[in-house]
Chain A
Protein backbone atom coordinates (compact mmCIF):
# COMPACT_ATOMS: atom_id res chain seq x y z
CA UNK A 1 0.00 0.00 0.00
CA UNK A 2 2.79 2.45 0.88
CA UNK A 3 6.13 2.70 -0.83
CA UNK A 4 8.98 1.52 1.37
CA UNK A 5 10.47 4.58 3.04
CA UNK A 6 13.97 3.17 2.58
CA UNK A 7 13.43 3.30 -1.18
CA UNK A 8 12.40 6.96 -0.93
CA UNK A 9 15.23 7.92 1.40
CA UNK A 10 17.67 5.97 -0.78
CA UNK A 11 16.55 7.92 -3.84
CA UNK A 12 17.17 11.25 -2.14
CA UNK A 13 20.52 10.07 -0.79
CA UNK A 14 21.64 9.24 -4.34
CA UNK A 15 20.49 12.66 -5.64
CA UNK A 16 22.27 14.40 -2.77
CA UNK A 17 25.48 12.42 -3.30
CA UNK A 18 25.55 13.64 -6.88
CA UNK A 19 25.17 17.27 -5.75
CA UNK A 20 22.10 17.80 -7.88
CA UNK A 21 20.15 20.88 -6.84
CA UNK A 22 16.47 20.15 -6.25
CA UNK A 23 13.57 20.73 -3.88
CA UNK A 24 10.38 18.82 -3.26
CA UNK A 25 7.55 21.21 -4.12
CA UNK A 26 5.08 19.78 -1.63
CA UNK A 27 4.75 17.18 1.07
CA UNK A 28 1.04 17.23 1.85
CA UNK A 29 0.12 15.60 5.18
CA UNK A 30 3.79 14.64 5.63
CA UNK A 31 3.31 11.66 3.33
CA UNK A 32 7.09 11.47 2.82
CA UNK A 33 8.84 9.25 3.56
CA UNK A 34 6.60 6.59 5.11
CA UNK A 35 3.04 7.36 3.94
CA UNK A 36 3.40 7.73 0.17
CA UNK A 37 0.83 5.42 -1.41
CA UNK A 38 1.75 3.19 -4.32
CA UNK A 39 1.57 5.03 -7.66
CA UNK A 40 1.49 8.46 -6.07
CA UNK A 41 4.03 11.03 -7.26
CA UNK A 42 6.91 12.75 -5.61
CA UNK A 43 6.99 16.28 -7.07
CA UNK A 44 10.54 17.41 -7.69
CA UNK A 45 11.79 20.77 -8.91
CA UNK A 46 15.27 20.35 -10.40
CA UNK A 47 17.63 23.24 -11.08
CA UNK A 48 17.67 23.70 -14.88
CA UNK A 49 21.49 23.55 -14.98
CA UNK A 50 21.42 20.10 -13.34
CA UNK A 51 18.78 18.73 -15.69
CA UNK A 52 21.02 16.47 -17.79
CA UNK A 53 22.88 15.00 -14.82
CA UNK A 54 19.63 14.33 -13.00
CA UNK A 55 17.96 12.60 -15.95
CA UNK A 56 21.06 10.46 -16.48
CA UNK A 57 21.09 9.50 -12.79
CA UNK A 58 17.40 8.56 -12.85
CA UNK A 59 17.76 6.44 -15.97
CA UNK A 60 20.82 4.58 -14.69
CA UNK A 61 18.88 3.79 -11.53
CA UNK A 62 16.21 1.91 -13.44
CA UNK A 63 13.50 4.54 -13.78
CA UNK A 64 11.44 4.34 -16.97
CA UNK A 65 10.05 7.40 -18.65
CA UNK A 66 6.31 7.83 -19.27
CA UNK A 67 4.52 10.55 -21.19
CA UNK A 68 3.68 13.35 -18.78
CA UNK A 69 -0.11 13.78 -18.63
CA UNK A 70 0.22 17.58 -18.73
CA UNK A 71 3.29 17.91 -20.93
CA UNK A 72 3.84 19.13 -24.50
CA UNK A 73 3.30 15.69 -25.86
CA UNK A 74 -0.27 15.73 -24.57
CA UNK A 75 -1.02 19.07 -26.18
CA UNK A 76 -0.14 21.42 -23.34
CA UNK A 77 1.67 24.67 -24.03
CA UNK A 78 4.58 25.67 -21.85
CA UNK A 79 4.93 29.45 -22.03
CA UNK A 80 8.00 31.66 -21.89
CA UNK A 81 10.30 28.86 -23.09
CA UNK A 82 9.66 26.74 -20.01
CA UNK A 83 11.31 23.31 -19.93
CA UNK A 84 8.96 20.42 -20.50
CA UNK A 85 7.93 18.17 -17.62
CA UNK A 86 9.27 14.64 -17.19
CA UNK A 87 7.49 11.71 -15.63
CA UNK A 88 9.42 8.65 -14.41
CA UNK A 89 8.33 5.40 -12.88
CA UNK A 90 9.90 2.49 -11.03
CA UNK A 91 8.18 -0.19 -8.95
CA UNK A 92 5.21 1.88 -7.89
CA UNK A 93 7.15 5.11 -7.37
CA UNK A 94 6.40 8.02 -9.73
CA UNK A 95 8.56 11.10 -10.07
CA UNK A 96 6.95 14.24 -11.44
CA UNK A 97 9.84 16.44 -12.57
CA UNK A 98 9.80 20.11 -13.43
CA UNK A 99 12.55 22.66 -13.88
CA UNK A 100 10.69 25.87 -13.13
CA UNK A 101 8.19 26.61 -10.39
CA UNK A 102 5.02 27.14 -12.40
CA UNK A 103 1.25 26.99 -12.41
CA UNK A 104 -1.58 26.56 -14.86
CA UNK A 105 -2.43 29.73 -16.72
CA UNK A 106 -6.08 30.72 -17.07
CA UNK A 107 -5.55 30.29 -20.81
CA UNK A 108 -6.61 26.75 -21.64
CA UNK A 109 -3.94 24.03 -21.53
CA UNK A 110 -1.08 26.39 -20.76
CA UNK A 111 1.55 26.29 -18.05
CA UNK A 112 3.34 29.47 -17.06
CA UNK A 113 6.47 29.85 -14.93
CA UNK A 114 6.19 31.97 -11.81
CA UNK A 115 8.11 35.23 -11.78
CA UNK A 116 11.87 34.91 -12.17
CA UNK A 117 12.44 36.47 -8.75
CA UNK A 118 10.42 33.67 -7.13
CA UNK A 119 12.13 30.95 -9.17
CA UNK A 120 15.64 32.24 -8.46
CA UNK A 121 15.00 32.62 -4.74
CA UNK A 122 14.01 28.94 -4.44
CA UNK A 123 17.67 27.95 -4.99
CA UNK A 124 19.13 30.56 -2.67
CA UNK A 125 16.82 29.64 0.19
CA UNK A 126 16.25 25.89 -0.01
CA UNK A 127 17.32 23.84 2.96
CA UNK A 128 17.53 20.32 4.31
CA UNK A 129 16.64 19.50 7.88
CA UNK A 130 18.64 16.90 9.80
CA UNK A 131 15.55 14.71 10.19
CA UNK A 132 14.69 14.48 6.49
CA UNK A 133 16.60 13.15 3.51
CA UNK A 134 15.46 15.82 1.06
CA UNK A 135 15.81 19.50 0.32
CA UNK A 136 12.71 21.65 0.52
CA UNK A 137 11.68 25.22 -0.20
CA UNK A 138 11.86 27.87 2.49
CA UNK A 139 8.59 28.67 4.20
CA UNK A 140 7.70 31.82 2.24
CA UNK A 141 8.27 30.28 -1.20
CA UNK A 142 6.35 27.21 -0.03
CA UNK A 143 3.43 29.36 1.12
CA UNK A 144 3.33 31.34 -2.14
CA UNK A 145 3.47 28.13 -4.16
CA UNK A 146 0.71 26.37 -2.20
CA UNK A 147 -1.63 29.37 -2.54
CA UNK A 148 -0.85 29.68 -6.26
CA UNK A 149 -1.48 25.99 -6.78
CA UNK A 150 -4.83 26.10 -5.02
CA UNK A 151 -6.08 29.03 -7.10
CA UNK A 152 -4.68 28.17 -10.53
CA UNK A 153 -4.07 24.40 -10.62
CA UNK A 154 -6.78 23.04 -8.38
CA UNK A 155 -9.29 25.96 -8.50
CA UNK A 156 -10.13 25.24 -4.85
CA UNK A 157 -8.65 25.10 -1.39
CA UNK A 158 -8.87 21.47 -0.26
CA UNK A 159 -8.64 20.49 3.38
CA UNK A 160 -5.13 19.08 3.12
CA UNK A 161 -3.84 22.19 1.36
CA UNK A 162 -5.56 24.44 3.91
CA UNK A 163 -3.77 22.55 6.70
CA UNK A 164 -0.41 23.09 5.00
CA UNK A 165 -1.10 26.77 4.33
CA UNK A 166 -2.26 27.42 7.89
CA UNK A 167 1.00 25.98 9.23
CA UNK A 168 2.66 28.92 7.45
CA UNK A 169 0.12 31.59 8.43
CA UNK A 170 2.69 33.50 10.51
CA UNK A 171 4.28 34.53 7.22
CA UNK A 172 1.13 36.11 5.72
CA UNK A 173 2.21 39.65 6.47
CA UNK A 174 5.93 39.34 5.89
CA UNK A 175 7.14 41.88 3.32
CA UNK A 176 8.75 39.11 1.31
CA UNK A 177 5.47 37.15 1.18
CA UNK A 178 3.54 40.22 0.06
CA UNK A 179 6.15 41.07 -2.61
CA UNK A 180 6.07 37.55 -4.00
CA UNK A 181 2.29 37.25 -3.92
CA UNK A 182 2.11 40.57 -5.79
CA UNK A 183 4.20 39.02 -8.58
CA UNK A 184 1.38 36.51 -9.10
CA UNK A 185 -1.78 38.24 -7.91
CA UNK A 186 -0.91 41.93 -8.36
CA UNK A 187 -3.56 44.25 -6.91
CA UNK A 188 -5.61 41.32 -5.64
CA UNK A 189 -2.88 40.58 -3.05
CA UNK A 190 -4.29 42.63 -0.11
CA UNK A 191 -7.74 41.05 -0.63
CA UNK A 192 -6.14 37.60 -0.84
CA UNK A 193 -4.24 38.04 2.40
CA UNK A 194 -7.37 39.25 4.21
CA UNK A 195 -9.35 36.27 2.94
CA UNK A 196 -6.61 33.89 4.12
CA UNK A 197 -6.53 35.52 7.54
CA UNK A 198 -10.34 35.23 7.77
CA UNK A 199 -10.07 31.57 6.61
CA UNK A 200 -12.63 32.39 3.94
CA UNK A 201 -11.21 29.77 1.57
CA UNK A 202 -14.39 28.99 -0.35
CA UNK A 203 -14.65 32.57 -1.66
CA UNK A 204 -11.06 33.09 -2.77
CA UNK A 205 -11.13 31.59 -6.27
CA UNK A 206 -14.46 33.21 -7.22
CA UNK A 207 -13.42 36.61 -5.89
CA UNK A 208 -10.08 36.41 -7.70
CA UNK A 209 -11.68 35.55 -11.04
CA UNK A 210 -14.22 38.35 -10.72
CA UNK A 211 -11.77 40.92 -9.31
CA UNK A 212 -12.06 44.20 -11.23
CA UNK A 213 -10.50 46.79 -8.95
CA UNK A 214 -7.51 47.60 -11.15
Chain B
Protein backbone atom coordinates (compact mmCIF):
# COMPACT_ATOMS: atom_id res chain seq x y z
CA UNK B 1 0.00 0.00 0.00
CA UNK B 2 0.71 3.71 0.12
CA UNK B 3 4.18 4.66 -1.08
CA UNK B 4 3.95 8.47 -0.97
CA UNK B 5 6.96 8.68 -3.28
CA UNK B 6 5.10 7.81 -6.47
CA UNK B 7 5.82 9.77 -9.64
CA UNK B 8 3.72 9.25 -12.75
CA UNK B 9 6.37 9.03 -15.47
CA UNK B 10 4.00 8.56 -18.41
CA UNK B 11 0.46 7.54 -19.26
CA UNK B 12 -1.79 7.39 -22.28
CA UNK B 13 -5.43 6.89 -23.19
CA UNK B 14 -5.01 3.12 -23.46
CA UNK B 15 -4.97 2.69 -19.68
CA UNK B 16 -1.20 2.22 -19.72
CA UNK B 17 0.97 4.09 -17.25
CA UNK B 18 4.48 3.96 -15.86
CA UNK B 19 5.07 4.95 -12.25
CA UNK B 20 8.27 5.39 -10.33
CA UNK B 21 7.70 4.23 -6.75
CA UNK B 22 10.83 5.67 -5.17
CA UNK B 23 12.76 3.13 -3.15
CA UNK B 24 10.39 0.32 -4.16
CA UNK B 25 10.25 -0.37 -7.90
CA UNK B 26 9.09 0.93 -11.26
CA UNK B 27 5.50 -0.15 -12.00
CA UNK B 28 4.14 -0.68 -15.49
CA UNK B 29 0.35 -0.77 -15.41
CA UNK B 30 -1.76 -2.01 -18.31
CA UNK B 31 -5.40 -2.28 -17.30
CA UNK B 32 -5.36 -4.73 -14.37
CA UNK B 33 -1.87 -6.07 -15.08
CA UNK B 34 1.10 -4.69 -13.19
CA UNK B 35 4.75 -5.43 -13.87
CA UNK B 36 7.38 -4.52 -11.25
CA UNK B 37 10.86 -3.69 -12.49
CA UNK B 38 14.04 -2.47 -10.87
CA UNK B 39 15.42 0.78 -12.28
CA UNK B 40 18.11 -1.15 -14.20
CA UNK B 41 15.51 -3.53 -15.64
CA UNK B 42 13.37 -0.58 -16.67
CA UNK B 43 16.24 1.04 -18.57
CA UNK B 44 16.88 -2.25 -20.38
CA UNK B 45 13.19 -2.57 -21.18
CA UNK B 46 13.07 0.95 -22.60
CA UNK B 47 16.10 0.17 -24.81
CA UNK B 48 14.20 -2.85 -26.15
CA UNK B 49 11.18 -0.65 -26.84
CA UNK B 50 13.42 1.82 -28.68
CA UNK B 51 14.69 -0.99 -30.92
CA UNK B 52 11.16 -2.18 -31.65
CA UNK B 53 10.06 1.34 -32.51
CA UNK B 54 13.08 1.83 -34.71
CA UNK B 55 12.33 -1.36 -36.64
CA UNK B 56 8.65 -0.40 -37.04
CA UNK B 57 9.24 3.07 -38.50
CA UNK B 58 11.19 2.67 -41.72
CA UNK B 59 11.19 6.20 -43.09
CA UNK B 60 14.34 7.47 -44.76
CA UNK B 61 15.98 10.27 -42.79
CA UNK B 62 14.21 9.32 -39.57
CA UNK B 63 16.01 7.78 -36.60
CA UNK B 64 14.58 7.25 -33.12
CA UNK B 65 18.05 7.70 -31.67
CA UNK B 66 18.40 11.30 -32.87
CA UNK B 67 15.26 12.47 -31.11
CA UNK B 68 14.91 13.96 -27.63
CA UNK B 69 13.04 11.38 -25.49
CA UNK B 70 10.47 13.95 -24.27
CA UNK B 71 9.69 14.94 -27.88
CA UNK B 72 9.57 11.26 -28.87
CA UNK B 73 6.86 10.67 -26.26
CA UNK B 74 4.79 13.41 -27.91
CA UNK B 75 5.60 12.22 -31.41
CA UNK B 76 4.87 8.55 -30.68
CA UNK B 77 1.16 8.45 -31.64
CA UNK B 78 1.94 10.27 -34.91
CA UNK B 79 4.73 8.03 -36.17
CA UNK B 80 2.54 5.59 -38.10
CA UNK B 81 1.38 8.55 -40.22
CA UNK B 82 4.92 9.64 -41.05
CA UNK B 83 5.52 9.48 -44.81
CA UNK B 84 8.87 11.17 -45.37
CA UNK B 85 11.51 13.31 -43.73
CA UNK B 86 13.30 16.05 -45.63
CA UNK B 87 16.19 18.31 -44.75
CA UNK B 88 15.38 21.94 -45.58
CA UNK B 89 16.95 25.35 -45.16
CA UNK B 90 14.98 28.20 -43.56
CA UNK B 91 15.79 31.60 -42.14
CA UNK B 92 15.26 31.88 -38.40
CA UNK B 93 12.84 34.77 -39.02
CA UNK B 94 10.60 32.38 -40.99
CA UNK B 95 10.13 30.11 -38.00
CA UNK B 96 7.00 30.37 -35.87
CA UNK B 97 6.37 29.48 -32.25
CA UNK B 98 3.22 28.71 -30.27
CA UNK B 99 2.79 31.11 -27.41
CA UNK B 100 0.10 32.93 -25.40
CA UNK B 101 -1.40 36.25 -26.41
CA UNK B 102 -4.07 38.53 -24.94
CA UNK B 103 -6.27 36.85 -22.33
CA UNK B 104 -3.82 33.94 -22.44
CA UNK B 105 -5.25 32.74 -25.76
CA UNK B 106 -2.94 30.58 -27.91
CA UNK B 107 -1.34 32.48 -30.80
CA UNK B 108 1.41 31.88 -33.36
CA UNK B 109 4.28 34.36 -33.39
CA UNK B 110 7.78 34.86 -34.82
CA UNK B 111 10.87 33.64 -32.97
CA UNK B 112 11.66 37.11 -31.59
CA UNK B 113 8.40 36.92 -29.58
CA UNK B 114 9.39 33.59 -28.05
CA UNK B 115 9.52 33.47 -24.24
CA UNK B 116 12.91 31.73 -24.54
CA UNK B 117 14.32 34.57 -26.67
CA UNK B 118 12.88 37.12 -24.24
CA UNK B 119 14.52 35.23 -21.36
CA UNK B 120 17.87 35.38 -23.18
CA UNK B 121 17.42 39.16 -23.41
CA UNK B 122 16.85 39.30 -19.65
CA UNK B 123 13.05 39.27 -19.53
CA UNK B 124 12.64 35.95 -17.72
CA UNK B 125 9.15 36.30 -16.20
CA UNK B 126 7.13 34.56 -18.92
CA UNK B 127 9.66 31.77 -19.23
CA UNK B 128 9.80 31.24 -15.47
CA UNK B 129 6.01 30.86 -15.27
CA UNK B 130 5.72 28.44 -18.15
CA UNK B 131 4.67 24.92 -17.15
CA UNK B 132 7.08 22.53 -18.83
CA UNK B 133 8.91 19.31 -18.11
CA UNK B 134 12.62 19.72 -17.43
CA UNK B 135 15.19 17.31 -16.11
CA UNK B 136 15.21 16.88 -12.33
CA UNK B 137 16.10 19.99 -10.32
CA UNK B 138 16.47 22.18 -13.40
CA UNK B 139 14.38 25.35 -13.57
CA UNK B 140 13.07 26.78 -16.86
CA UNK B 141 15.67 29.54 -16.81
CA UNK B 142 18.50 27.15 -15.97
CA UNK B 143 17.47 25.08 -18.98
CA UNK B 144 17.74 28.14 -21.23
CA UNK B 145 21.19 28.97 -19.85
CA UNK B 146 22.34 25.39 -20.34
CA UNK B 147 21.12 25.27 -23.96
CA UNK B 148 22.84 28.58 -24.70
CA UNK B 149 26.16 27.16 -23.42
CA UNK B 150 25.72 24.01 -25.49
CA UNK B 151 24.90 25.91 -28.69
CA UNK B 152 27.87 28.26 -28.10
CA UNK B 153 30.27 25.32 -27.59
CA UNK B 154 28.94 22.80 -30.05
CA UNK B 155 27.10 24.87 -32.64
CA UNK B 156 24.04 23.60 -34.51
CA UNK B 157 23.12 20.90 -35.18
CA UNK B 158 24.73 18.81 -32.45
CA UNK B 159 24.28 15.07 -31.92
CA UNK B 160 22.51 14.96 -35.30
CA UNK B 161 19.52 16.66 -33.69
CA UNK B 162 17.67 19.20 -35.82
CA UNK B 163 14.86 21.64 -35.20
CA UNK B 164 11.69 19.88 -36.37
CA UNK B 165 8.82 21.30 -38.40
CA UNK B 166 5.68 19.50 -39.60
CA UNK B 167 4.55 19.38 -43.22
CA UNK B 168 4.81 22.70 -45.06
CA UNK B 169 4.41 24.81 -41.89
CA UNK B 170 7.18 26.66 -40.13
CA UNK B 171 5.78 26.21 -36.61
CA UNK B 172 8.52 24.70 -34.45
CA UNK B 173 7.43 21.25 -33.23
CA UNK B 174 10.72 20.64 -31.41
CA UNK B 175 13.68 22.93 -30.88
CA UNK B 176 12.34 26.31 -29.73
CA UNK B 177 15.20 26.65 -27.25
CA UNK B 178 17.84 25.97 -29.88
CA UNK B 179 16.17 28.32 -32.38
CA UNK B 180 15.97 31.13 -29.81
CA UNK B 181 19.64 30.63 -28.83
CA UNK B 182 20.74 30.72 -32.47
CA UNK B 183 18.70 33.87 -33.12
CA UNK B 184 20.18 35.46 -29.98
CA UNK B 185 23.76 34.56 -30.96
CA UNK B 186 23.74 35.03 -34.74
CA UNK B 187 20.62 36.98 -35.75
CA UNK B 188 18.54 35.96 -38.73
CA UNK B 189 20.77 33.26 -40.23
CA UNK B 190 19.74 30.38 -42.45
CA UNK B 191 19.77 26.97 -40.80
CA UNK B 192 18.98 23.36 -41.65
CA UNK B 193 15.77 21.93 -40.22
CA UNK B 194 14.04 18.56 -40.53
CA UNK B 195 10.55 18.48 -41.96
CA UNK B 196 8.32 15.58 -41.01
CA UNK B 197 5.69 15.02 -43.68
CA UNK B 198 2.58 13.21 -42.50
CA UNK B 199 -0.19 11.55 -44.50
CA UNK B 200 -2.71 14.13 -45.78
CA UNK B 201 -0.67 16.81 -43.96
CA UNK B 202 -2.07 15.60 -40.65
CA UNK B 203 -0.95 17.44 -37.49
CA UNK B 204 -0.71 20.81 -39.23
CA UNK B 205 -1.86 23.56 -36.89
CA UNK B 206 -4.19 26.48 -37.44
CA UNK B 207 -2.58 29.88 -38.13
CA UNK B 208 -5.04 31.32 -35.60
CA UNK B 209 -5.35 28.77 -32.80
CA UNK B 210 -7.23 31.29 -30.64
CA UNK B 211 -10.23 30.92 -32.99
CA UNK B 212 -10.30 27.21 -32.33
CA UNK B 213 -10.04 27.82 -28.58
CA UNK B 214 -12.91 30.32 -28.55
CA UNK B 215 -15.31 29.02 -31.15
CA UNK B 216 -14.69 25.38 -31.90
CA UNK B 217 -16.00 22.93 -29.37
CA UNK B 218 -15.07 19.28 -29.29
CA UNK B 219 -15.86 16.54 -26.79
CA UNK B 220 -12.71 17.21 -24.73
CA UNK B 221 -13.42 20.93 -24.41
CA UNK B 222 -17.07 20.34 -23.51
CA UNK B 223 -16.00 17.83 -20.87
CA UNK B 224 -13.42 20.25 -19.40
CA UNK B 225 -15.99 23.06 -19.25
CA UNK B 226 -18.59 20.83 -17.60
CA UNK B 227 -15.99 19.67 -15.09
CA UNK B 228 -15.13 23.29 -14.26
CA UNK B 229 -18.81 24.19 -13.82
CA UNK B 230 -19.26 21.16 -11.57
CA UNK B 231 -16.23 22.19 -9.49
CA UNK B 232 -17.64 25.71 -9.02
CA UNK B 233 -21.05 24.29 -8.12
CA UNK B 234 -19.55 21.95 -5.50
CA UNK B 235 -17.54 24.81 -4.01
CA UNK B 236 -20.63 26.99 -3.66
CA UNK B 237 -22.63 24.14 -2.11
CA UNK B 238 -19.79 23.35 0.30
CA UNK B 239 -19.57 26.92 1.53
CA UNK B 240 -23.36 27.03 1.93
CA UNK B 241 -23.23 23.78 3.92
CA UNK B 242 -20.57 25.18 6.26
CA UNK B 243 -22.57 28.37 6.82
CA UNK B 244 -25.77 26.46 7.54
CA UNK B 245 -23.89 24.12 9.87
CA UNK B 246 -22.21 27.01 11.70
CA UNK B 247 -25.56 28.65 12.34
CA UNK B 248 -27.13 25.42 13.56
CA UNK B 249 -29.46 25.11 10.65
CA UNK B 250 -28.22 21.70 9.57
Contacts and interface: CB of A to CB of B under 8 A. Distances in A.
Interface string A182-193: 001111110000
Contacts of B238: 67, 73
B246 A105 contact: no
A115 B245 contact: no
Interface string B206-237: 00000000000000000000000001001100
A187 B235 CA distance: 41
Interface in A38-69: 59, 64-67
A211 B23 CA distance: 7
B231 A185 contact: no
B226 to A, nearest CB: 16
Contacts of A116: 1
Interface residues of A, number: 35
Interface string B72-104: 000000000000000000000000000000000
Given A104-B4, A116-B1, A214-B39, A65 B242 contact: yes
Interface in A199-214: 206, 208-214
Contact of B136 (A67, A79, A184, A210): A210
Contacts, number: 75
B4 A103 contact: yes
A78 to B, nearest CB: 12
Contact of B25 (A115, A189, A214): A214
Interface string A68-82: 000001010001100
B22 interface: yes
Contact of A208 (B22, B231, B235): B22
A110 to B, nearest CB: 9
A66 B242 contact: yes
Q: Chain B at the A interface: mostly helix, strand, loop or mixed?
A: mixed
Contacts of B231: 75
Interface residues of B, number: 25
Contacts of A107: 6-8
Given A65-B246, A114-B2, A214 B24 contact: yes
A213 B238 CA distance: 45
A214 B38 contact: yes
Nearest to B38: A214
Nearest to A73: B238
A106 B2 contact: no
Nearest to A111: B4
25 contacts: A65-B242, A65-B245, A65-B246, A67-B238, A73-B235, A75-B231, A80-B1, A106-B4, A107-B6, A113-B2, A115-B1, A116-B1, A152-B5, A184-B3, A184-B4, A186-B21, A186-B23, A186-B24, A187-B24, A188-B23, A209-B136, A212-B39, A213-B39, A214-B24, A214-B25
Given A186-B22, A210-B137, 10 more contacts: A65-B246, A67-B238, A73-B235, A79-B2, A106-B4, A187-B24, A188-B23, A208-B5, A209-B136, A211-B23
